[in-house]
Structure 1
């Protein structure tokens, strides 16, 4: 069970950008010939989601000539120039990806106003919570953690699914006794919290497929394997690589 508790907590776990409004209308399949890169391609869907070399999908926004991608707990920053992406942060630095013009990359942009709103909220999230500090630093700074929690709560309330995912992680950690209890391996036995389940369901209704992944992991941490597998399967059916991976790991860890 501990693995799935930490998976939820892990959800918690710069460059100058010009004054142009953030957007997420970048669409296309970018590939690299580099054999040293862990990421052979990035496929942007024109609506705020990017397939990261088959490892799973992340969020992204574009501001000026910068593309900021959130793969999970880290951040990738690129400079974009016509049909090229140049890595400008750890894990992607000094590598280039070229737009493959003859590829078929899905374009999921259906509501331009909503897409722009999400991009601007994601940029605000980046600016307020990630640009000048990392998650580990926040965990050990009471003032920074309080400010982070306030920002996450505000952004979630305004419709940013990623912020709601992190809020859910914070709620789980609080129920376990807080970060000190987690680090000391003295967590409380998890009990079902209706507010956490309600938030998980809200994330799903916001269109975030990984809501199934985290809600399933929460059910699993409570010992409800039936509900956990149901949520993971829903996520997998909707195309979540993460949900499929977590479900597979859970099945492999079960006693034979």
Structure 2
């Protein structure tokens, strides 16, 4: 794959080199907790980039699951939806330099940190003292095969049948309508393309619990829409450290792989 980044069309707007395919209103930005740079970006940086403080990547079981189901292809186009500060897609782009990789998120602040670290190769910083960690600067990389962009996960900028892999973690319980998102993801995947999804299904609203839980409701929808279920792992436990003392959240996640 030679022309990295060409799957993204010209954006209607851009900010600091990050394409913006969704025009977030001031109210949407204000209500989005992930736009709080000092708080949430520091938290995500501590979780995904501060391996030295943790003695390794704390979400390694999650990364291992994703890696296990990546195709054995010399070239591929892959997108990570809800990429946060870019750890999973950054590692994929590092391990597969011939792959065309995209990180999509709805938070500009997360994308700014990801862009600076993975694409520009800047040394980024985050105040991690609140979590008991002293290491708060991280030397970045310069990955030519990785692009970041802001977009709605259910209205993607990619052309029809353009991606080989679409992955998302800790996302579908934050999307207003996962069924709509499934249809959009099927649109952008090539025939035989692979969807990798991991989520604790920790929905925010009562109506979402009623419509999308238990997990069989999501799986049935995929099957009725002619997805081929390749793997279903329930539960996949993922432990998220909260601070240096060792406090943590143990997430019971649903992990699945489906092919278009």
What is the TM-score of this pair, normalised by structure 2? 0.29
Q: Which is greater in Rg? A: 1
Structure showing the higher strand proportion among its residues? 2
TM-score (normalised: structure 1)? 0.30
